[in-house]
Structure 1
Amino acid sequence: MILGWRKRRIARHAGKKNPPGNQEMELVIPNHFRCPISLELMKDPVTLSSGITYDRESIETWLEAGNFTCPVTNSMLRSFDQIPNHTLRKMIQDWCVEKQNYGVERIPTPRTPVTPIEVSEILFDVSASSLDVDQYRCLELVQKIQKWGAESERNRRCIVANGAAAVLAAAFDAFSNDSVERNVAVLEEILSALNWMFPFDVEAQKSLGSRASLGCMIWFLSSKDLSPKQDSIVALKELLACDQKLVEKLSDFEGVNEMLVEFVKKQICPTITKASIMVIFYMVSVAYSSSEKIKLAFVKMGLVSLLLEILVDSEKSICERALGVLCGLCSCKEGREEAQSNALTVPVMVKKILRVSDLATEYSISTISELCKYGRRDEGKILVEALQVGAFQKLLLVIQVGCGDKTKEKATELLKLLNPYRAGLECIESVDFKNLKRSF
């Protein structure tokens, strides 16, 4: 097979001129150096029980897809062991060095993948060290797990599959119960490792949802270092996504709301901003005993105006989250009053319909519906303003191109409310209707 490596000019290396007509030559890779699956040069050749050699990444993908046969011979595999073919790998490396004038780079010697037995052994030691509250031993072990995970995606899958999240979460809870300040180094390392083990299993959720663990993560939110701050807010977001019952427990911690709003306001980094908005979304969207109190607190902190300013010019992922939070805040009286008094509310909500995503459209229509449904005093003003920025035609189009039953119902109600005010007020912004796909 001919591959796309072309010979460099020899003059660059030897100071000689290439023969005329031979300045660029195609390089042929020997067939036995190519993986039978990907047909590319093998980087980590391994041999199966069938005697056929494949590149490790390719054959693992094949086996993980539920195949139990050798791709070449089609025979049933007696075992799934993958024996490294060191001889062939050395030949490939020598060939790469020999062909370096063609632009071929030497393939590095691959690291041996971690095995389930190795993972189980180290997780057993992590559990033992956490029971003894031995932060130095545990830190050493978690750093080794981090090193394994950094070597390959295959290692990460193996580590997660063998229950690492539950063990590390239990260790996090143990060291948090002992003392956050005294065990800060190992707690940071554990939290960093947990950030590539989403979604959490039930046992991990239980450990990380304890008061001690939540308190530790909130403590990290006030840290000056960016890394633990980011790991904590992302972990909280994932934790609430798995178990929204933890919202009430989280809201009991003093200063949490202020920190979340501050993260949204300062926009330290995109990851923290997105995760913070999502945590607030869970806090204002989940029904629990103190939910109205939490919504009121966020409104008093100026979150409504802050979100509207962000929505004027923001990327899709942040826009969806911000609209969701705004919709949640407008479900309470104080939130609606704050939104009604802001000149950006109606223009921004109408603007986001059909502009971002189906989810953003749903949130935008729901917010406008909340303002009209419960804001009777300003309903006429809001409806007139909505017409002036093109709401009527957009709502019609939403129904025509297809939407959820709930959104369709709200859009229909709004159309009925808007209809009496249409004469002489309706505006159409044609740019919003370009490239829309028909539902038929």
Structure 2
Amino acid sequence: MGRNDLCITVPNIFRCPISLDVMKSPVSLCTGVTYDRASIQQWLDSGNNTCPATMQVLLSKEFVPNRNLQRLIQIWSDSATRHQLEANSPVPSHDHINLLVKQLDNENFVSSLQKIVWFARESEENREFLARIDGFVNAVFDFMINVEPDIKLIEQVVEILNLMSSKILEKKSLLESGPLSMILLVIQRGTLASQIHSIELLKSIAVDGESKLKIAEEEALLHELVKSLSREKDPSLIDASLSCLIEITMRKRVKIKVIQSGAIPELKKHLSEPNTSVSIIEKSLRLLETLSSCSEGRVEIWHDSILLQAIVQTVLKVSNKATEHAVTILWCVCCLFRDEKAQETAAISNGMTKFLLLMQSNCSAAVRQMSADLLKISRVNSKSCLSSYDTKTTHIMPF
């Protein structure tokens, strides 16, 4: 860290035990201790065969990247940098903002936009003020179309457009090839915060069927959105990507592209992980529900018993919303299209017990009816499972 960063407290866990500097590429040894890659590589290249922190003899000199810690360091670093910049540059006044907006068409664009971004972050009232300034949004649009590919500058443009998205009336201007390519560039190369801003901006401009299809037909964008679902990514990025994909995955050909891009295996991982957030589980199930409405999606779902078991396990376990999506998926593959393998998997995954409980719950009438259908078809395929379930509520069964 440089002299300007001395006032920032660095969490000890972010420091390399060897160099004591913030780790740029944290890697873990077989002892479980994490070091910066350059420091530990130098230690090992010097002929040492011990862990510097514990002095244990290393059974293996291989190390693995500590992705979670690297994400935390990146988030902390972005936050610290933003805090320091804003502390050194107070939020501009309204008069100053009016002057800065007039400077957006000259060589002072970079510094002017940076100050406007800080102003917009401050409050909803500030964003309302910006929206009332004639020509402001058009100036940002024009810049985005004609800008040279400077990633740091484009990140600021994307952030201001995301902050102002609810105030932008002509959102279709962002569907042109220029703005979409800039958004793609930020998703590919920007910071975590900028990636999230870009994906949120995409979702905000998907206002109708035409705009949703336009975004979905940009194959590189669609590929990056699916790529962002990887469990190695930050949860906030995963959540934002799921929301955007749910919004734009409407047409059958888009569903097929999402499936071909490998979305379903990533969704399975989120449903199978024990520490996945409620929001990500709900959205993963919502997207699976959408994909199950086409034959390609149903085939991939019912051919994956682990995925089906994970879907069954979310019923009555996560939230009412998750239960509704899960039951709809199961009903689609088990009842509507009557796949026997899917029926058997649901039956042996304690599905019959869950469907019985759902029929007694305060769920919606549609979920209750789908549960009855699932229970009935499960009984046909696995009578022994039902007979072993001792309950006094079998009188509610619709058969």
TM value normalised by structure 2: 0.66
CA distance in 2, matches of 1:318, 1:113: 35
| Match of residue 235 from structure 1 | 201
- The 1:268/1:337 distance shift into structure 2, 3 A limit, reads same
| Match of residue 331 from structure 1 | 293
Is the counterpart of residue 385 in structure 1 residue 345 in structure 2? yes
Measured after TM superposition, the shift of residue 364 of structure 1 is 0.3
Correspondent of 1:298 among 258, 264, 269: 258
Q: Secondary structure at the match of 1:354?
A: coil
Measured after TM superposition, the shift of residue 249 of structure 1 is 0.8
Q: Secondary structure at the match of 2:123?
A: helix
CA contact (8 A) 1:330 1:371 kept: yes
- The 1:276/1:392 distance shift into structure 2, 3 A limit, reads same
5 Å-filtered alignment, 1:199-210, equals 200-203=166-169, 205-210=171-176
| Match of residue 321 from structure 2 | 359
CA contact (8 A) 2:196 2:237 kept: yes
CA distance in 2, matches of 1:125, 1:429: 71
Q: Secondary structure at the match of 1:425?
A: helix
Aligned Cα root-mean-square deviation (Å):
3.2
CA contact (8 A) 1:165 1:194 kept: no
CA distance in 1, matches of 2:322, 2:282: 5
Correspondent of 2:185 among 199, 202, 219: 219
Is the counterpart of residue 348 in structure 1 residue 310 in structure 2? yes
Q: Secondary structure at the match of 2:304?
A: coil
Deviates more, 1:157-166 or 1:315-324: 157-166
Measured after TM superposition, the shift of residue 343 of structure 1 is 1.8
CA distance in 2, matches of 1:386, 1:205: 44
| Match of residue 145 from structure 2 | 177
CA distance in 1, matches of 2:326, 2:365: 15
Gap runs ≥5 in structure 1: 1-110, 431-440
Residue type at the aligned position of 1:139: V
| Match of residue 279 from structure 1 | 244
CA distance in 2, matches of 1:299, 1:251: 13
Higher helix share: 2
Measured after TM superposition, the shift of residue 359 of structure 1 is 1.2
Cα deviation 1:240-288 (Å, max 9, x = unaligned): 3x5564211112223222212222126332222111122222232x2xx
Correspondent of 2:283 among 285, 307, 321: 321
5 Å-filtered alignment, 1:111-150, equals 117-118=94-95, 122-123=97-98, 125-126=100-101, 128-130=102-104, 132=105, 134=106, 136-149=107-120
CA distance in 2, matches of 1:317, 1:202: 28
| Match of residue 22 from structure 2 | none
5 Å-filtered alignment, 1:29-178, equals 117-118=94-95, 122-123=97-98, 125-126=100-101, 128-130=102-104, 132=105, 134=106, 136-149=107-120, 155-164=122-131, 169-178=137-146
Residue type at the aligned position of 1:282: E
Gap runs ≥5 in structure 2: 1-88, 391-399
Q: Secondary structure at the match of 1:280?
A: helix
CA distance in 2, matches of 1:410, 1:423: 19
CA distance in 2, matches of 1:337, 1:122: 56
| Match of residue 251 from structure 1 | 216
CA distance in 1, matches of 2:387, 2:305: 18
Is the counterpart of residue 312 in structure 1 residue 272 in structure 2? yes
CA distance in 2, matches of 1:274, 1:429: 38
Measured after TM superposition, the shift of residue 357 of structure 1 is 1.2
CA distance in 2, matches of 1:318, 1:326: 12
Residue type at the aligned position of 2:186: F
- The 1:112/1:142 distance shift into structure 2, 3 A limit, reads closer
Is the counterpart of residue 188 in structure 1 residue 155 in structure 2? yes
CA contact (8 A) 2:144 2:182 kept: yes
Percent of residue pairs bearing the same amino acid type: 22
- The 1:143/1:292 distance shift into structure 2, 3 A limit, reads same
- The 1:216/1:123 distance shift into structure 2, 3 A limit, reads farther
- The 1:266/1:352 distance shift into structure 2, 3 A limit, reads closer
Measured after TM superposition, the shift of residue 371 of structure 1 is 0.7
Measured after TM superposition, the shift of residue 339 of structure 1 is 0.9
How many residues align? The count is 299
CA contact (8 A) 1:180 1:216 kept: no
CA distance in 2, matches of 1:283, 1:212: 20
TM value normalised by structure 1: 0.60
CA distance in 1, matches of 2:280, 2:306: 17
Residue type at the aligned position of 2:304: N
Cα deviation 1:316-341 (Å, max 9, x = unaligned): 11111111111111111111111111
Correspondent of 2:358 among 387, 398, 416: 398
- The 1:384/1:282 distance shift into structure 2, 3 A limit, reads same
CA distance in 2, matches of 1:429, 1:207: 59
CA contact (8 A) 1:389 1:428 kept: no
CA contact (8 A) 2:289 2:326 kept: yes
